[in-house]
Amino acid sequence: MIPENKLNSVVNNVYAVDFYSIDKPLLAAVGGKAANLTELSRINEIQVPEGFCVTTEVYKKITEHNQELHDLLDKLAGLKAEDRTEISKISARIRTIIENTPIAEDIAEVIREHLTNFGEKDAFAVRSSATAEDLPTASFAGQQDTYLNIIGSEAVLKHISKCWASLFTDRAVIYRLQNGFDHRKVHLAVIVQKMIFSQVSGILFTADPLTSNRKVLTIDAGYGLGEAMVSGLVNADNYKVSKGAIIDKTISTKEMGIYSLNDGGTKEEKIGIELQNRQVLTDEQILQLERIGRKIEEHFGKPQDIEWCFADDAFYIVQSRPITTLFPVPEANDKENHVYISVGHQQMMTDPMKPLGLSLWQLRAGRPMFKAAGRLFVDVADSLATTSGTENLIDAMGQHDPLIKDALLTIVKRGDFIRSLPNDGKAPVIVKSSKGMSSADILAQIGNDPKIVFDLIKNDEISIQTLKQNIQSKTGLELFDFILEDIQQSKKMIFHTQHMGVIVAAMNAASWLNEKMNKWLGEKNVSDVLSQSVSNNITSEMGLALLDVADVIRPHASIIKYLQEVKSDNFLEEIVMLNGGQEVRDAINAFLNKYGMRCAGEIDITKTRWRENPQILFPIILNNIKNFEPGAAKRLFEQGLQEAMKKERSLLDQLEQLPDGEQRAKETKTMIDLIRSFVGYREYPKYGIVNRFFIYKQALLKEVEKLLQANIIHEKEDAYYLTFQELQETVLTGKLDYQLIAQRKDEHRLNKKLNPPRVITSDGEIITGKYKRENLPVDAIVGLPVSSGIIEGRARVILNMEEADLEDGDILVTSFTDPSWTPLFVSIKGLITEVGGLMTHGAVIAREYGLPAIVGVEQATRLIKDGQRIRLNGTDGFVVIL
């Protein structure tokens, strides 16, 4: 416990400062690690080895006037993380310069003075504390070097210089380049801390880093000094603890430890045979460490990654930092158990959304949605609390995303998380399964009149035209009220019985056909072929329409050259000056008038639409010109139609040869007609929503323009970091807190680094589902089969649609595809995505285009390398790397 008089002492020296004298204003001068040690030393009953911090002021004095150093920093700033050889060469020179720069005598004297507070024979740990290290939005842990068991003031001074130099190890430089940190703006303070000669040491996470469960604390423990474990040099025991009980132990074989030498430095030493397989900590010590960890976590207010050591029957804490890799738990204002499923995995957009997009999507949702790391989640705990609710939800998720389905089944089977409610039979049925339904039952859901789809589309088109007209006259607060009212009206259309009935009837008809044809004829996934080239699929029509645009451009070499090089925002005005330019501009405008509201990640209103930047489409158009002959759109559609008709004739002919064949063929023909009439409409509702949202966006940006002119907002994009309600308030008051904008931008940058889970509980536990598959080839990469066929080809791993450079026969591998990716589908022969389900957009379009496809392939973009030759089996759902 630090004495009160020391806690309140005033910092008189800018070169070095004791832990107990550091306060928040000094963060910039001491770095995150030292600031955290100060916080730790102020927690009752937490023991922190004494020490002091050499501030960044000293580092600045050492480096500020060294011209050679600054020239090298200029060179370093111009490099990319991939330039490893050049980084290594420049970094080595910088380290040499820093290590060889003497510390001014007045500064050295201040450091020696701090060392007099310790005994002459005391040893020290000398460690970095970077100004960008261990901050809430970044962990630079392990990027700089630590030196242990340093004895004597001259040795301490020498290793302080070594610490400064380690700011320019190759790994530290590459980390900064990858994360966008300016080398000049990251300064290094150095911690000098009394050495604890620990018999045992380790790391403690107050949340399980594997499952993210905040109620499970994990401890790694090994013999000797902790630095070996942090660096991954030695094995360690692992203990898991929850609520005062040890729930799991892994006792490893510990052959090596790192220990201190008497005259300074460390050595590796073999562990005695009798200790190698012994539990390092007693159960009592494990539980004591859990209490310490929870106390520290409570003090900092978030899960912590803690370094500890044990010496002379006491635990010492030598570091604590936030765990920056945990996905945050969605916000809920109660202590009930919740099960959250990802909206993004169902909407094919797992990137973080900005606040304006997030809030608008929440407003249009049919049920409450919860935020976490820029993503949206829905709580399904109530559905899982009843038998009927569980059955409905599990069945629906089987259609959307089987990995979500399996994760939910895992929670239900545990039986200890969801409180069961009386089953009153009134759980809402959103998607009724085709299991056990006859063809007549499915037909009764909606009928089989193609005019139903025509009427639904026509009604939406009329509604969109009315919205465009009426919104023109709305400004200020009236505009915000008008948008809120329109969202409510459009929700009624989306959840209309007939609208949902068409989609469900098509899904159930497809399931019926797959089940019956497999049972009666031994044919798998027949609905995939039968779904090719159907009518009224707005998304697949979009891909073919861009082929038609390519046909208009193809004859004009000067325009092709222009599109390859264009950088101007006024290209549509400039293009008419070229031969054929007017015709080309008309074709592009016609496409944009129908599809210009689309873009990658389109559920986020803040994303740039094709109408806002048509140049996004140029690489795809140029690919179409390169890969296709004129008239390809019509040929592709006709080819798919012929394949579907051929499959239909084959099935009906085979069925008629069976007992009761005439009746079976009649039922099957009815289901085929239902798919051909209705399945294309599955894509229309999203198109309608995105269409409306773009109209809202254009109107809202007119209000933002007024804020720009009044200097209330600095840049148009800054408005995207406000929620809909906050933007409304800014328009009303003419006031904006720019600290909030800066904070949101930082949060968004952090959110981009986090991968959202499919399912997460209110405990913070991420539940991962698994595919249950047998008789697969060795080394097969497994996913969900959504479009039949087997194909071999070159894998093209593409994360950004605009960077796609595809050749005929390529197989597209990406994290997710929403409708904006459809124009690429005409150029590929197969599709693999990390996210998706049977009825998500990529799956629907792959079936219509006749592309073998599997979705929900965990880590696909990492497991498959760009350019590898692969075999994709869309019938059984796996990939083999050839």
Query: How far apart, in whole angstroms, are the C-alpha atoms of residue 543 and residue 546?
Result: 5
335: DSSP letter: S
- As given in the structure block, the two tokens for residue 631 are 């008239």
Query: How far apart, in whole angstroms, are the C-alpha atoms of residue 249 and residue 235?
Result: 14
Look at residues 237, 287, 51, 31 and name the one whose alpha carbon lies nearest to residue 134: 31
819: DSSP letter: G
Q: Which residues, other chains included, contact 245 with Cβ-Cβ below 8 Å and sequence gap of 6+?
A: none
- Dihedral, CA atoms, 662, 667, 672, 675, nearest 10 degrees? 180
Among 114, 187, 345, 841, the active-site one is: 841
Helix H or strand E encompassing 329: none
Give the Å distances, CA to CA, from 712 to 198, 234, 481, 782, 882.
58, 57, 22, 52, 58
What 3-state DSSP class applies to 328? coil
CB atoms within 10 A of CB 541: 18
CB atoms within 10 A of CB 641: 15
Task: Output the 3-class SS for 606-631.
Answer: CCCCCCCCHHHHHHHHHHHHHHCCCC
Question: To which residue do tokens 């264009």 refer?
Answer: 566
Q: What is the DSSP string of 449-496?
A: -THHHHHHHHHHHHHHHHHHHHHTT--HHHHHHHHHHHHHHHHHHHT-
Query: How far apart, in whole angstroms, are the C-alpha atoms of residue 561 and residue 577?
Result: 14
- Exposed / middle / buried, residue 140 (Cβ in 10 Å: 0-12, 13-18, 19+): buried
Residue type, 327: F
Q: What angle do CA 62, 67, 70 make, to 5 degrees?
A: 80
**Residue 841 is a catalytic residue:** yes
Confirm if 811 and 864 have CB atoms less than 8 A apart. Answer: no
104: DSSP letter: P
Give the Å distances, CA to CA, from 661 to 5, 511, 645, 658.
95, 20, 19, 5
- Bridge-based pairing of strands 237-242 and 217-223 is antiparallel
Query: How far apart, in whole angstroms, are the C-alpha atoms of residue 517 and residue 756?
Result: 38
Q: Which residues, other chains included, contact 135 with Cβ-Cβ below 8 Å and sequence gap of 6+?
A: 32
Q: At what angle do helices 632-656 and 841-849 cross, to 10 degrees?
A: 80
E strands within 187-338? 188-194, 200-205, 217-223, 237-242, 245-250, 256-260, 266-270, 304-311, 314-322
What 3-state DSSP class applies to 492? helix
Query: How far apart, in whole angstroms, are the C-alpha atoms of residue 418 and residue 413?
Result: 10
Look at residues 853, 811, 125 and name the one whose alpha carbon lies nearest to residue 531: 853
Confirm if 528 and 651 have CB atoms less than 8 A apart. Answer: no
Catalytic residues: 841
